[in-house]
Amino acid sequence: MSEPAVSATGLPHPLAPEDRARADHYALLSRLYADAPDAGLLQAIAQSGAATEPGRLQVGAAAEPFARAWAVLGAASAAMDAAAAAEEYQELFIGVGQSAVSLHASAYLPASGRNALVEVRAALARLGLGRLGGVSLYEDHLAAVCETMRVLIAGAPGVQPFTLDDQREFFGMHLGPWVFACCTAIRECAIANYYRRVAEFTDSFMAIERDSLAIE
């Protein structure tokens, strides 16, 4: 995978390079969906993405969509203004009264009869995790779910990394069933500009995660 803009260097537990990359990408996605990127983050993504410029790709067929999406996100980040990104985030995901696109699992699983928020809270409790004090995002928000995956992979201060089985179960129950529909909703929204590229990158990364975690 390409080097991510958010580094997991300094994590409390040593990780294999592949898991460090996974944790880094979940950290980046959590940050991008929690709030609009500031100028520093846009610059970091642009510099990292430049290494995989679409015209210079030399990757395997399985990884090519991911590498291409990362390069395109890097180019979009280089061209994006932080104030414009903040305005887009506000219009897309907050809005006035109702957002144009929801980032909550509960918006994509209503027909199943599941209460996504209740279920993810119960899963966190079983894992000994929970929402930190002062955090306003609900636990089924995409940023929160990505942060949970980062913790499951990398651990946290006082928390050991979780097993691959734990990661597989959480992804399969609380991320995989709705994240692709969420990405589609973002891409198809007329308001989306920069976040269309974020959604494309998210989709390609989550596809790799889904396929990798499906391997027993």
Structure-token pair, residue 36: 């609009």
| Mean pLDDT value of segment 35-51 | 90
Q: Give 157's pLDDT tier (boundaries 50, 70, 90).
A: confident
* Contact residues for 122 (Cβ-Cβ < 8 A; gap 6+): none
Q: Give 31's pLDDT tier (boundaries 50, 70, 90).
A: very high
Q: Give 215's pLDDT tier (boundaries 50, 70, 90).
A: confident
What is the three-class DSSP state of 22? Answer: helix
Instruction: Please say whether the beta carbons of 6 and 27 come within 8 A.
Output: yes
Structure-token pair, residue 23: 């944790």
**pLDDT (tens digit per residue) in 45-98:** 999 866 554 444 344 555 688 999 999 999 999 999 999 999 999 999 998 878
**pLDDT (tens digit per residue) in 106-150:** 999 876 677 899 999 999 999 999 887 777 899 999 999 999 999
Looking at residue 61, its pLDDT comes to 52
Q: Give CA–CA dist 36/38, Å, rounded.
A: 6
In terms of Cβ atoms closer than 10 Å to its own Cβ (0-12, 13-18, 19+), residue 111 is: exposed
Instruction: Please say whether the beta carbons of 146 and 26 come within 8 A.
Output: yes
Per-chain mean pLDDT for the chain: 87
Q: Give 195's pLDDT tier (boundaries 50, 70, 90).
A: very high
Domain covering 17-213 assigned CATH 2.130.10.10 in the classification: no
pLDDT tops 80 at residue 105: yes
